[in-house]
Amino acid sequence: MTKALEIHQLRKVYDNGFVALKGIDLSVEEGDFFALLGPNGAGKSTTLGIVSSLVNKGEGTVKVCGYDLVTEREAVKRSLGVVPQEFNFNSFEKVQDIVIQQAGYYGLKRKLAEARSETYLKQLDLWDKRDVPARMLSGGMKRRLMIARALVHEPRMLILDEPTAGVDIEIRRSMWAFLKRLNKQGTTIILTTHYLEEAESLCRNIAIIDNGEIVAQAPTKTLLKGKQRSTYVVDVRGTLTIAPELDGFSSRLLDEHSIEFDLSREQSLNEVFSQLEAKGLDVVSIRPKTNRLEELFVDLTTHSKQEAEA
Amino acid sequence: MNHPYWVAFSAIVYKEVRRFTRIWMQTLLPPAITMVLYFIIFGNLIGSRIGTMDGYDYMQFIVPGLIMMTVITNSYGNVSSSFFSNKFQKSIEELMVAPVPNWVIMLGFVVGGVARGLACGFIVTLLSLWFTDLQVHNAFVTLSVILLTAVVFSTAGLINAIFATKFDDVTIVPTFILTPLTYLGGVFYSVSLLPDFWQWVSKLNPILYMVNTFRYGIIGHSDIPVLAAYGMLLMFVALLMSWALYLLHTGRGLRS
């Protein structure tokens, strides 16, 4: 099966000497829903910028849907739809004109471009706004406009850089539903996001990049299974003044009704409940302190930072 | 014409033409007003005192130069401001991610600039008919020179915009280089009036060749050999287009 994206030993040094990528390897299967995660400045946007031809490539090879980025750049571009992080359309143009214009750049004749723009603007709930100048749209609408524009040539792979940044929850969820549908129809999707809940619920595979290096790449489930420790918050009835001592667990007092404790993979929540019950504490509720992926992300990126400093 | 490159080229040209026609108050109207003032002040009021220039009525003498000046400034200004605005708003990325070769991008913007230059030139030509009786001495020379000049300055405007990092950068060249060269390029006088040394210096100014060749096409008079002007124009087209293509290829000012 052809890989949707194959990156081998990709390195990027900017003119000011900053090493953004230190020879990364990345592989994404066709049809995958893939997340590239990392803290700010880790190299996510540089990687996607190189794949999208918006950043000059350094050493290494990049293949998109089997096409080489250097020798078959036009085929690479035809295979790709790009939704960047920042709004990058002429805000004085009308919504449908922006989509039709982009279709023209991909060689789609006017009639086909009009039909496709109608299809995608309708799917993204923007058809009513087709004659409105783009500057009049809300932030969420602008993001959806960029998605419609990126899809007008019906690419095999869609790259989204922070697609839901600054978008309210309702629209974010409708965008997730749209992207899931699109992926089901066969489009490979690669996204970067700061909402780790988004990556955990949407993406089958995840890579975490930090400091220009891939520190983890695996199926989302495998990554989460490999997590060594989780933190939970327990709310109890009654008033606490100190954190109860729990044998084998490290616990901390959060407020007079709540404590948090760490749980390793070998330990069970039942043990915690038993010990709390033995101490006469009545558990009202329990929840993970943070999103599981978020904890893993922090673990991995902190570890990588410590290694770099050492 | 179904070739994707042709469709992409047409899309760029369509967008460029739509841009300058949509903002016609900023693009088509000002040169018309400016040139009418030139015709009235220099042509009628001052020109009537000057009498003739190289045997031609002064108004007849300056009209070709003023048309050429309009074409030069508008071709250049259109591409430099449009391309830089695309960079500034990042909408140039729409083209960079698409499978459009650099030569198609370059030609699309250049033809957009040529369209505005010629549109303004046409408006000024129509207005000049109120002030003088224009006779076209050689239609081929008239049209080919104005077209080549528009291509040269559109391409130069593109190069300016590629290098520009702020809006000031797209006004520096027109203000400090283009305007002086145009005024000293024989628009208002014949270089034969100058002392030998200044005649020689003037002949280093490429705009002198363009203005005089265009004037030759209309009234049949030129201070310089017409063939030399064609040679120079073609050389500028080749040099500037090669440079622009090289800059687009390296991603100068566009890709880091």
Alpha-carbon separation of residue B70 from A299, B43, B73, B150, B183 (angstroms) = 65, 16, 5, 10, 12
Same domain, A214 and A231: no
Q: How far is B121 from chain A (nearest CA, A)?
A: 27
pLDDT at B138: 95
Domain-terminating residue out of A218, A238, A256? A218
A140 and A109 in contact (C-beta within 8 Å)? no
Same domain, A175 and A92: yes
Same domain, A233 and A208: no
pLDDT of A149 over the 90 cut? yes
pLDDT at B149: 97
Same domain, A173 and A195: yes
pLDDT band at A39 (very low <50, low <70, confident <90, very high): confident
Q: Residue A31 is part of which domain span?
A: 3-218
Same domain, A234 and A212: no
- By the CB < 8 Å criterion, does B256 face chain A? yes
pLDDT at A227: 67
The whole-model pTM stands at: 0.87
pLDDT at A250: 84
Cross-chain residue pair B3–A101, CB shorter than 8 Å: no
Integer Cα distance of A52 and A160 in angstroms: 11
Cross-chain residue pair A109–B255, CB shorter than 8 Å: no
pLDDT at A246: 85
Q: Buried b vs exposed e over A130-143: b needs ≥16 C-beta within 10 Å?
A: beeebeebeebbbb
pLDDT band at A148 (very low <50, low <70, confident <90, very high): very high
Q: How far is B136 from chain A (nearest CA, A)?
A: 39
Same domain, A254 and A184: no
Same domain, A177 and A232: no
Q: What is the DSSP string of chain B?
A: ---HHHHHHHHHHHHHHHHHHHTHHHHTHHHHHHHHHHIIIIIIIIHHHH-EETTEEHHHHHHHHHHHHHHHHHHHHHHHHHHHHHHHTTTHHHHHTTT--HHHHHHHHHHHHHHHHHHHHHHHHHHHTTTS----S-HHHHHHHHHHHHHHHHHHHHHHHHH-SSTTHHHHHIIIIIHHHHHTTTSSS-GGGS-HHHHHHHTT-HHHHHHHHHHHHHHS--SS-HHHHHHHHHHHHHHHHHHHHHHHHHTTTT--
Each domain of chain B, given as residue ranges in start order, spans: 4-250
Q: Comparing A60 with A262, which gets the higher pLDDT?
A: A60
The number of beta carbons lying within 10 Å of the beta carbon of residue B1 is: 8
Residue in chain B closest to A80 (alpha carbons) equals: B97
- By the CB < 8 Å criterion, does B177 face chain A? no
pLDDT of A237 over the 80 cut? yes
Overall average pLDDT of the A152-157 stretch: 97
Q: How far is B245 from chain A (nearest CA, A)?
A: 16
Q: Hey, what amino acid is at B18?
A: R
B83 and A90 in contact (C-beta within 8 Å)? no
Mean pLDDT computed over every residue of chain A? 90
Overall average pLDDT of the A266-273 stretch: 86
Residue in chain A closest to B255 (alpha carbons) equals: A55
Same domain, A146 and A247: no
Cross-chain residue pair B97–A54, CB shorter than 8 Å: yes
Residue in chain A closest to B94 (alpha carbons) equals: A102
Residue A183: give its domain's CATH number. Answer: 3.40.50.300
Same domain, A84 and A188: yes
Residue in chain B closest to A14 (alpha carbons) equals: B256
- By the CB < 8 Å criterion, does A45 face chain B? no
The number of folded domains in chain A is 2
- By the CB < 8 Å criterion, does A96 face chain B? no
- By the CB < 8 Å criterion, does B14 face chain A? yes
B66 and B124 in contact (C-beta within 8 Å)? yes
Same domain, A115 and A204: yes
Q: Buried b vs exposed e over B58-90: b needs ≥16 C-beta within 10 Å?
A: bbbbbbbbbbbbbbbbbbbbbbbbbbbbbbbbb
**Chain B residues 88-147 within an 8 A CB cutoff of chain A:** 89-91, 93-101
Alpha-carbon separation of residue B186 from B50, B192, B213 (angstroms) = 16, 10, 11
DSSP H or E run through A225: helix A220-225
A298's CB contacts (< 8 A; 6+ apart) are none
Mean pLDDT, consecutive 10-residue stretches, chain B (256 aa), reads 91 96 95 94 85 86 94 97 95 96 98 98 96 91 97 97 94 91 90 88 91 94 90 96 97 90
Cross-chain residue pair A90–B97, CB shorter than 8 Å: no
**pLDDT digits over A173-189, tens only?**
889 999 999 999 999 99
Integer Cα distance of A148 and A81 in angstroms: 10
Domain-terminating residue out of A183, A218, A253? A218
**pLDDT digits over A272-300, tens only?**
888 888 888 888 888 887 666 776 777 77
- By the CB < 8 Å criterion, does A85 face chain B? no
pLDDT at A297: 74
Cross-chain residue pair B7–A104, CB shorter than 8 Å: yes
**pLDDT digits over A188-210, tens only?**
999 998 777 788 889 999 999 99
Residue A260: give its domain's CATH number. Answer: 3.30.70.1560
Residues of B in contact with A102 (CB under 8 A): 94, 98
